[in-house]
Amino acid sequence: MQIAPLTGLAKRAGPICLLVMGTLLASCGEIRLPRGEGKEPLVIRRAGLPPPPPVPEPTIWWDGLTFDASKDGRVALDVIEFQGWQTAQYLQLEDLLGKIPTYDLAEFERSEFAFLQQADLNGNGPRETYEAGYFSGSDDVGGAFIVVREQGTVIKIFFRADGQEFSAAGLTQNGILWTHCMNCSDFETISWNGSEFVMN
Is 66 domain-assigned? no
Is 53 domain-assigned? no
Question: Which position has the higher pLDDT, 105 or 189?
Answer: 189
Percent of the chain with pLDDT over 70: 66
Is 117 domain-assigned? yes
For 21, the domain range is: 4-45
Number of domains in the chain: 2
Residues 6+ apart with CB under 8 A from 159: 83, 135, 143, 144, 145, 146
Question: Which position has the higher pLDDT, 41 or 175?
Answer: 175
Coil/strand/helix, residue 4 = helix
Is 172 domain-assigned? yes
pTM of this structure: 0.69
**Among 23-37, 66-80, 158-172, the least confident range:** 23-37
Sequential DSSP letters for 42-54 = EEEE-TTPPPPPP
For position 107, what pLDDT does the model report? 87
**Average per-residue pLDDT in the chain?**
80
| 92 and 9, same domain (yes or no) | no
Tens of pLDDT, residues 83-107: 999 999 999 999 988 888 888 888 8
| 119 and 161, same domain (yes or no) | yes
* Residue 30: strand pairing partners: 45
Among 167, 60, 184, smallest CA distance to 116 is for 167
| 40 and 138, same domain (yes or no) | no
| 131 and 183, same domain (yes or no) | yes
Residues 6+ apart with CB under 8 A from 69: 87, 88, 89, 134, 136, 142
Is 72 domain-assigned? no
For position 92, what pLDDT does the model report? 93
Is 18 domain-assigned? yes
| 87 and 150, same domain (yes or no) | yes
Percent of the chain with pLDDT over 90: 46
Coil/strand/helix, residue 199 = strand
Residues 6+ apart with CB under 8 A from 90: 73, 74, 76, 115, 116, 131, 132, 133
* Residue 182: strand pairing partners: 61
Tens of pLDDT, residues 135-166: 998 777 889 999 999 999 999 999 999 888 99
Is 21 domain-assigned? yes
Residues 6+ apart with CB under 8 A from 40: none
**Among 59-63, 132-136, 165-169, the least confident range:** 59-63
Is 62 domain-assigned? no
